[in-house]
């Protein structure tokens, strides 16, 4: 299917199975994937969207640009280590960085619920400004809508971002090749646990704070050092597992990772055991994986580790030329297992 | 106030008066203006935002670009002449056009409410694709979030857009000068009435359809014909009145208009009388005003009228060098009156 000429056809999502949108359709797992692959990508069919990247990249009058968007509906609005405003700025900054772009300009679209305390809005706005300063981007255009009480949930924020690409790398899932190594920029799971703890009123010995942070600077250091980057992906909804499965499918490669090499803080691991979560699927807001040419692996790790946001970087796996696209993990006890996307919804409204 | 250093200060909106966000804060009138002027513009302070334009314009590596965003929360989702998807594409296309940019690429951020019928989403997605084709833009990047039932309202859509500026005009409120003429591209009020009629279940003799349409092509014809355009503004929330008041304030000029020259269809006028609305304040989604050099007025009108979306174009007023910034209208019975922004909320969730 490739455009309006086919638009009289029936809804491409199996209605018998999913007559209605469920929370899992926004959860970063299999159902969201299905919605994107079967409905959005064919309906809006164009090569840029089909690249299945964190954003679109294109040239305008000789300037190479990246363009991306995300809406933020996190609940609660404030959580240990951040708030929806910080998330809305860093999330879009990070998507631009994942395209290999230097983040420049953001837009902000607010959907406010009638009755929202004005002080709450002000706190979020201040947080966005501070985050923009830290990430060295400017919020240059915006929009505000208000919906009736009971038709929203305090604040939803959409940010879109424009960045500039100033190198010749082709950073995209399609560039990943057998032999490339997989680097992870630090420990997993803090954002997801911070949100869940706040939501459920759980108290841990020491507060687990979100890892929310802007990754532009860290990525620019890799690029400026001429590291051969094939692909990058930040590990938000769906976590490390979903990001790797998406890339394996898009690049048609097998990715082998080693669970022992994946850093998870002890308190996060403990919280996961109590709550029944797998850190591989938890959302992060300041972590990414980079697919790097094997020959550049050590140098890339040195660069990442020399930055405060990449101190815990490590090599977690390798791309192989095994037959079928998949992610295969050697578990902590040495068994091999296929890593799949989540089928249901683990943590709704995590970002 | 100019940045984070002042961020310990109290909320800049008078809490005694407005402790909470009201529907009017999103309505395009005085309260929305206050929220933007007192909170958003100072908090995010930068020259691009302060231009008070429909979007931001900037250069990246020699390419002149426009960037804009809007969220759409219209209720109901479907109305005579359109739906939220058509609105979301055309609205952002039109904001780019108002910056004098050729619209190129859009992003789409969906916030879906759990339980939304999948068929409804599919209808909206199809509509967006058709609208994008008509406006000759591509939807190149997107995001989907789902919120719990009762925390949203079916579908909210944010679109952001990137366009290219390929001329040397400086199209901005600040460019407007005494002597410029004010052109209006057609009749007023159909979008507002179409929404209200659908919402309230009103039946008119013949259905009044929204004027929702993409203005990029019409605007590009003016630009390609080297018409000296000083400023443009599409007449959405707040209608013609609010657009003119905003421009008069930003440009520090007086704008004089003649009510007799402003086209309003008889059925729209009748509906306004029944519902107690003033067509000057009604939202439109396919109408704009252009401030044009007096010497180009006739030629500009000819160009506008030769396009199906500008057939009803007319000259409605002039910029004068009278002392105080204001919009002054000669009414249909010949009296002069000051046109102000709305203080309350006339039509919530019109777009």
Give A81-119 pLDDT, tens digit per residue. 999 999 999 999 999 999 999 999 999 999 999 999 999
Query: Does residue A39 lie within any of the structural domains?
Result: no
Same domain, A225 and A90: no
Determine the pLDDT at residue A6. Answer: 56
- Chosen for mutation from B9, B53, B145 (greatest number of chain A CBs closer than 10 Å) is B145
* Number of domain units in chain B: 2
Work out the percent of chain B whose per-residue pLDDT is above 90: 85
Cβ count near A308 (within 10 Å): 8
Tell me the chain A residues in contact with residue B87 when contact means C-beta distances shorter than 8 Å: none
Q: Which residues contact A327 (CB under 8 A, 6 or more apart)?
A: A241, A244, A245, A248, A254, A255, A256, A257, A338, A339, A340
Question: Quick check: B39 and A145 CB within 8 A?
Answer: no
Same domain, B200 and B292: yes
Q: Extract the tokens encoding B146.
A: 């789902």
Same domain, A202 and A119: no
Nearest CB partner across the interface for B140, out of A48, A151, A156: A48
Does residue B20 surpass a pLDDT of 80? yes
Question: Quick check: B25 and A110 CB within 8 A?
Answer: no
H-assigned helices in chain B:
30-34, 41-43, 47-50, 84-98, 118-135, 190-200, 216-224, 239-251, 266-275, 297-305
Full pLDDT tens readout for chain A, 351 residues: 344 455 667 888 888 889 999 999 999 899 999 999 999 999 998 888 877 778 999 999 999 999 999 999 999 999 999 999 999 999 999 999 999 999 999 999 999 999 999 999 999 999 999 999 999 999 999 999 999 999 999 999 999 999 999 999 999 999 999 999 999 999 999 999 999 999 888 877 778 999 999 999 999 999 999 999 999 999 999 999 999 999 999 999 999 999 999 999 999 999 999 889 999 999 999 999 999 999 999 999 999 999 999 999 999 999 998 878 999 999 999 999 999 998 777 788 999
Cα A68 to Cα B142: distance, rounded to the nearest angstrom:
7
Same domain, B312 and B181: yes
Which CATH number belongs to the domain containing residue B149 in this structure? 3.30.1330.10
Determine the pLDDT at residue A46. Answer: 86
Domain ranges, residue B85: 55-165
Query: Does residue A38 lie within any of the structural domains?
Result: no
Q: For the whole model, what pTM was predicted?
A: 0.96
- Cβ(B29)–Cβ(B238) below 8 Å: yes
Cα A316 to Cα A233: distance, rounded to the nearest angstrom:
14
Tell me the chain B residues in contact with residue A133 when contact means C-beta distances shorter than 8 Å: 3-4
Across B56-72, average pLDDT = 96
Does residue B109 surpass a pLDDT of 90? yes
Determine the pLDDT at residue B3. Answer: 46
Which CATH number belongs to the domain containing residue B272 in this structure? 3.90.650.10
Query: Does residue A351 lie within any of the structural domains?
Result: no
Determine the pLDDT at residue B1. Answer: 36
Across B201-228, average pLDDT = 93
Same domain, B250 and B325: yes
Determine the pLDDT at residue A14. Answer: 84
Same domain, B264 and B304: yes
pLDDT in tens, B182-212: 999 999 999 999 999 998 888 777 789 999 9
Determine the pLDDT at residue B146. Answer: 97
Asked which of B136, B165, B194 is the last residue of a domain, the reply is B165
Same domain, B136 and B186: no
Across B291-300, average pLDDT = 98
Cα B222 to Cα B304: distance, rounded to the nearest angstrom:
8
Tell me the chain B residues in contact with residue A126 when contact means C-beta distances shorter than 8 Å: 4, 7, 43
B350: confidence class by pLDDT, cuts 50, 70, 90: very high
- Chosen for mutation from A33, A57, A60 (greatest number of chain B CBs closer than 10 Å) is A60
Q: Extract the tokens encoding A278.
A: 């797998």
Asked which of B141, B165, B189 is the last residue of a domain, the reply is B165
Asked which of B130, B165, B200 is the last residue of a domain, the reply is B165
Q: Which residues contact A241 (CB under 8 A, 6 or more apart)?
A: A278, A280, A281, A327, A339, A340, A341, A342
Across B210-235, average pLDDT = 98
- DSSP E strand boundaries for chain A: 56-60, 63-72, 78-79, 82-83, 102-113, 138-147, 155-164, 181-184, 229-234, 254-258, 288-292, 314-320, 326-330, 336-339
pLDDT in tens, B148-159: 999 999 999 999
Query: Does residue B142 lie within any of the structural domains?
Result: yes
Same domain, B217 and B131: no
Determine the pLDDT at residue A321. Answer: 86
A–B: how many Cβ contacts below 8 A?
A: 315
Tell me the chain A residues in contact with residue B56 when contact means C-beta distances shorter than 8 Å: 105, 107, 140-141
Same domain, A212 and A311: yes
Does residue B140 surpass a pLDDT of 50? yes
Min CA distance, B139 vs chain A (Å)? Answer: 6
Helix (H, G, I), strand (E, B) or coil at B110: strand
Nearest CB partner across the interface for A43, out of B11, B105, B129: B129
Same domain, B247 and B211: yes
Determine the pLDDT at residue A1. Answer: 36
Question: Quick check: A150 and B150 CB within 8 A?
Answer: yes
Query: Does residue B34 lie within any of the structural domains?
Result: no
Tell me the chain B residues in contact with residue A156 when contact means C-beta distances shorter than 8 Å: 111, 145, 147, 156
Question: Quick check: B164 and A61 CB within 8 A?
Answer: yes
Query: Does residue A90 lie within any of the structural domains?
Result: yes
Cα A165 to Cα A97: distance, rounded to the nearest angstrom:
9
Query: Does residue B351 lie within any of the structural domains?
Result: no
Question: Quick check: B3 and A58 CB within 8 A?
Answer: no
Question: Quick check: A21 and B143 CB within 8 A?
Answer: no
- Cβ(A198)–Cβ(A129) below 8 Å: no
Same domain, A180 and A266: yes
Helix (H, G, I), strand (E, B) or coil at B30: helix
Does residue B255 surpass a pLDDT of 70? yes
Same domain, A156 and A288: no
Q: Which residues contact A184 (CB under 8 A, 6 or more apart)?
A: A240, A262, A263, A287, A288, A289, A313, A314, A315, A316
Query: Does residue B224 lie within any of the structural domains?
Result: yes
Cα B281 to Cα A1: distance, rounded to the nearest angstrom:
43
Reference A320, options A178, A174, A173; nearest CA is A178
Q: Which helix (H) or strand (E) holds A195?
A: helix A190-200
Min CA distance, B222 vs chain A (Å)? Answer: 21
Tell me the chain B residues in contact with residue A35 when contact means C-beta distances shorter than 8 Å: 144
Name the DSSP class of B117.
B
């Amino acid at each position: 299917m490739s455009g309006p000429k086919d638009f009289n056809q029936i809804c491409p999502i199996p209605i018998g199975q999913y007559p209605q949108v469920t929370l899992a359709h926004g959860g970063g797992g299999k159902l969201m994937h299905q919605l994107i692959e079967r409905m959005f990508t064919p309906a809006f069919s164009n090569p840029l969207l089909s690249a299945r990247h964190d954003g679109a990249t294109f040239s305008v009058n000789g300037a190479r640009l990246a363009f991306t968007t995300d809406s933020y509906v996190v609940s609660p609005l404030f959580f240990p280590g951040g708030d929806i405003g910080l998330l809305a700025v860093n999330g879009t900054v990070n998507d631009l960085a994942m395209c290999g772009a230097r983040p420049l300009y953001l837009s902000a679209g607010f959907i406010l619920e009638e009755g929202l305390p004005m002080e709450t809005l002000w706190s979020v706005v201040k947080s966005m400004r501070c985050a923009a300063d830290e990430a060295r981007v400017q919020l240059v255009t915006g929009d505000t809508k208000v919906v009736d009480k009971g038709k929203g949930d305090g604040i939803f924020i959409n940010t879109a971002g424009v960045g500039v690409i100033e190198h010749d790398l082709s950073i995209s899932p399609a560039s990943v090749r057998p032999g490339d190594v997989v680097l992870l920029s630090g420990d997993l799971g803090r954002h997801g646990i911070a949100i869940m703890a706040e939501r459920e009123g759980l108290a841990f010995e020491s507060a687990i704070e979100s890892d929310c942070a802007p990754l532009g600077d860290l990525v620019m250091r890799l690029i400026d050092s001429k590291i051969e980057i094939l692909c990058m992906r930040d590990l938000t909804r769906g976590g490390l597992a979903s990001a790797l499965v998406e890339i394996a499918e898009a690049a048609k490669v097998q990715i082998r990772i080693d669970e022992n090499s994946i850093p998870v803080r002890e308190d996060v691991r403990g919280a996961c055991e109590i709550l029944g979560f797998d850190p591989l699927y938890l959302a992060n807001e300041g972590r990414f994986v980079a697919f790097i040419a094997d020959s550049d692996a050590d140098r890339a790790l040195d660069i990442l580790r020399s930055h405060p946001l990449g101190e815990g970087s490590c090599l977690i796996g390798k791309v192989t030329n095994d037959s079928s696209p998949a992610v295969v993990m050697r578990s902590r006890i040495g068994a091999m297992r296929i890593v799949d996307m989540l089928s249901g919804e683990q943590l709704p409204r995590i970002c």
